[in-house]
Structure 1
């Protein structure tokens, strides 16, 4: 699964790199560009491809948008005017089941996105030495060895309070996950689904469903450049946020093993 990640990209710079339209200012979130401890319900950066509103015949353009991490299905009822009722925290969706899951199947057809990140965190759980029945959780950070950005496959939704005319839309997203492969299986049995650049056109196409092959578990070769390193337990609390969360820990119980992956 993917329940925490880090991203340091600036939306304006990201839009320039991708020749995309930066639509984050319209959201008015005031979120900082760098977030080393992104958690569900946070407003996160996404990349979508959409037509200009009211101009369906024009060519679609890439757009950088902020969305709530944790997809809110279209049919969600309002708890109060303009506020969706709380439900399951849909921050992850299984890639192999999303197309048939009611909460995600509509998004799989026409609302797919990319979620840019520097890397993601997972925890290795082990019995705690000298404490019977207790476990210790050791955090690891998965990222490309060269430090380049990852783009994960995601789905998104637009929620509106139907009882409130002209209510503001609430954009939300989820990150697709798949079986871990290769050396990453030493950390966790699941991982976010990377989306290679050569598949972006098909994945982001707003007018056609994506080929089912794009939801398949990637090959070991496709993630061979992703490495894992132990990081400080500071990341365990979402209140901690800074570059120190990415510092490599050398005295982790598994640091020696993981360094050989």
Structure 2
């Protein structure tokens, strides 16, 4: 199966999110972090919202605060080399990280220790191969959208990094992140064998704590009950192209799809 989670939707306004979480909105601190509205087709390399907990740089002894930051989706390891000034050289897009291997993977192990985040989203997409290939011999894939039944936001476990061009230290650093994935559980196994790792609110303090490692159990595959209120439904193939972006991506496919409704569940 293809690597997931590679596409998701978010309608979260950073200022509203900061108010809801009693967090500092730091998304306006950088010229590339301006809020441009809902994104129904978030793809790797896009700027995405994250929730982190950090100490104030000027008052490091104070208690850490929740902060809303915008980051590039696709983690850039701190040791990555630069291509052009201030721009990392092209490499494998690290937009996902396996939760069971991240702590021992060179690209992610530093972030597992001290740079963990939450990635808020409305829901995410996956594609299921259906029926016979088309006239050109290509597999026919039906996109599905996974989200909470009540429309409440999802918060996925993530890792983040601060990359700096060592040859041009005056240039601003690049913040980037990856979404942790784990084995799919419950009915989500009908869609894909992997899923983003959800982080329940009762574990946020331990997960985001900048001063201590996260408990190992938070990286383990969660119980099926943790995703029991997530529904999966077929949506328009418009989502197949990243050029398309709007609420129409979440509409059912024309004609109801080819038997895809049988995979929809609650």
TM-score (norm: length of structure 2) = 0.95
What is the DSSP-based 3-state SS (H/G/I as helix, E as strand, rest coil) of the residue aligned with 1:229?
strand
1:128 aligns with 2:123: no
- Other-structure match for 2:156: 152
Shift of 1:125: 1.4
Q: 1:256 maps to which residue?
A: 261
The CA distance in 2 between the partners of 1:36 and 1:164, in whole Å, is 35
State the 1:33 CA deviation: 2.6
Does residue 51 of structure 1 match 2:21?
Answer: no
Q: What pairs up with 1:79-98 in 2 under 5 angstroms?
A: 79-98=83-102
Give the CA RMSD over aligned residues: 1.4
Match of 1:79, SS state, is coil
1:114 aligns with: 118
1:138-192 alpha-carbon deviations (Å, 9 max, x no partner)? 0000000000000000000000001113221100000000011111111111100
Would you say the 8 A contact 2:142–2:260 is kept in 1? no
Kept in 2: contact 1:158–1:170 (CA 8 A) = yes
Task: Verify: 1:201 aligned to 2:205, yes or no.
Answer: yes
1:4 equivalent in structure 2: 7
Query: Deviation at 1:133?
Result: 4.4
- Residue 135 of structure 1 aligns to a residue in which SS? coil
Query: Could you say what secondary structure the match of 2:262 adopts?
Result: helix
Aligned with 1:140 (options 140, 144, 151):
144
Higher strand share: 1
Distance in 2 between the 1:94 and 1:202 partners? 19
Instruction: Note the residue ranges of structure 1 that are not aligned, 5 or more in a row.
Output: none
CA distance in 2, matches of 1:91, 1:107: 14
Distance 1:167 1:260 in 2: 49
- In 2, the alpha carbon distance for the partners of 1:260 and 1:83 equals 43
Question: Which piece of structure 1 moves more, 199-208 or 20-29?
Answer: 20-29
Q: Secondary structure at the match of 1:173?
A: strand
How many aligned positions are there? 261
Structural mapping, 1:17-36, within 5 Å: 17-29=20-32, 30-36=34-40
Separation (CA, whole Å) in 2 of partners of 1:66 and 1:76: 20
Segments of 5+ residues of structure 2 without an aligned counterpart are none
CA distance in 2, matches of 1:199, 1:259: 29
* TM-score scaled by length of structure 1: 0.96
SS at match of 2:182: strand
1:31, 1:43 within 8 Å by CA — same for their partners in 2? no
Match of 1:60 in 2: 64
